[in-house]
Homo-oligomer: A and B are copies of this chain.
Amino acid sequence: MYTILKDGGVCSPRGFLASGIKAGIKASGNPDMALLKSERAARCFAVSTTNKVKAAPVLYNKDVLEHAHFASAVIVNSGNANACTGAQGYADSEKMAVLTEEKLNLTPKSVLVCSTGVIGRLMPMDKIEAGIPRLIQKLKPDASVDFARAILTTDLAMKSLAVEIQTEKGVVRIGGACKGSGMIHPKMATMLAFITTDVGLPIDFFAEFRSNIDESFNAITVDGDTSTNDTCILLANGMSDIQYNDMNLSEQGEFRAALTMLMQELAKSIVRDGEGATKLIEICVSNAESRSEALKMARFIGTSNLAKCAMFGEDPNWGRILSSAGSSDVNMSAEHTDLFFGDVQVLASGRPVDCDREALNAVVHQREYKVTLVLNMGSASASAFTCDLSYDYVKINAEYTT
């Protein structure tokens, strides 16, 4: 069993220090540089955007992690994405890493870089260079909030969480922070997520991390676009002196469950904070032929503007959901499909059910609810998390001028 830690975040696991400052990159004057450091070089897993247009820091991290799977720190800035900045952009990302390494007395290629913000502008390197020593000076072990605040862009809320798991050998912790408002917002682009743990993880845990990303950050959708900078980094420094491989099977299961929950909750907090969002909806596709098919369909429905407008309008519009499911290129048959809003069944074998309209209306008026599509084609299930499409989404994205 895991316990959620009050005010927890990236610094909750042992041996992680952080800081966040106002470096003057954002015109708003809000915090815009952050640093996360492990006292010991940490096992590092990173997954980044599949967009063909990748920002400089994404390319830089890829080069760094190609040969080693360890990192000691991550330097982050918000306000400028360092994307579409060519060779100069790459050199700037590298310089951010190297300066941090030098001032922290770290070995080369031990610092990763994340940027989020405006696309197409060169980094204000004078501000970055002035910010790095200040970030290092401010590093402390209880700065989860400072870190989580400084990585935000158009987000309205800070996103930070930590959990603790009791094992036979002692307590281990997992912490995390993330940002992201629209899935991509080229003004202030991108989703960034940082996960820390004081458990020692083996290299082959990457497959587990990858699968957790599919069920969390890859299962959310605000508007269906991916960005140039999306990155999720996991740092495992082993400073609890407990290795994952030394845990018993039940403890390993608890650790995985806690990590999944933490990543899913962080991901859901991004959807809740989606541009103009008034609702968080879980789209669950069950009894599909495979998990990947179920997830594909759930994600497809989660990006349907028609379905999302109906959610905003608090209308239990099963036709839009069924039709979107049919467009998703996943094997299904309307004649075998059941559909539920919350616990209220609206379709049985593809035909409308004479359901309790009052109960149904109560479901769609909630701020958060679940839509379940039962395909009856197999035994696999998956969920996607989406928000509704509101006037404010259009307002936020139409009124912004480059």
Contacts and interface: CB of A to CB of B under 8 A. Distances in A.
Interface string A219-235: 00001111110000000
B394 A327 contact: no
A393 interface: yes
Interface stretch (A157-165, A182-190, A280-288): A182-190
B51 A323 contact: yes
Given A323-B119, A402-B319, A394 B397 contact: no
A323 B227 contact: yes
| A: interface residue count bin | 35 or more
A397 B317 CA distance: 11
A326 B397 contact: no
Nearest to A334: B53
Interface stretch (A19-27, A125-133, A308-316): A308-316
29 contacts: A52-B325, A52-B329, A52-B334, A53-B350, A54-B334, A83-B323, A84-B319, A84-B322, A84-B352, A119-B322, A183-B323, A184-B306, A186-B323, A189-B323, A189-B327, A224-B303, A225-B327, A226-B327, A305-B305, A309-B393, A309-B397, A312-B398, A313-B400, A315-B400, A316-B402, A390-B398, A391-B391, A391-B394, A393-B394
Contacts of A319: 83-84, 118-120, 186, 189, 402
Contacts of A51: 323, 326-327
B225 A398 contact: no
Copies of this chain, complex-wide, total: 2
A86 interface: yes
Given A50-B329, A120-B318, A187-B327, 6 more contacts: A52-B326, A223-B304, A305-B393, A309-B398, A391-B394, A391-B395
A326 B399 contact: no
A352 B120 contact: yes
A401 interface: yes
A335 interface: yes
Interface in A341-371: 347, 350-352
Contact of A224 (B84, B305, B393): B305
B394 A317 contact: no
A224 B300 CA distance: 10
A391 B352 CA distance: 31
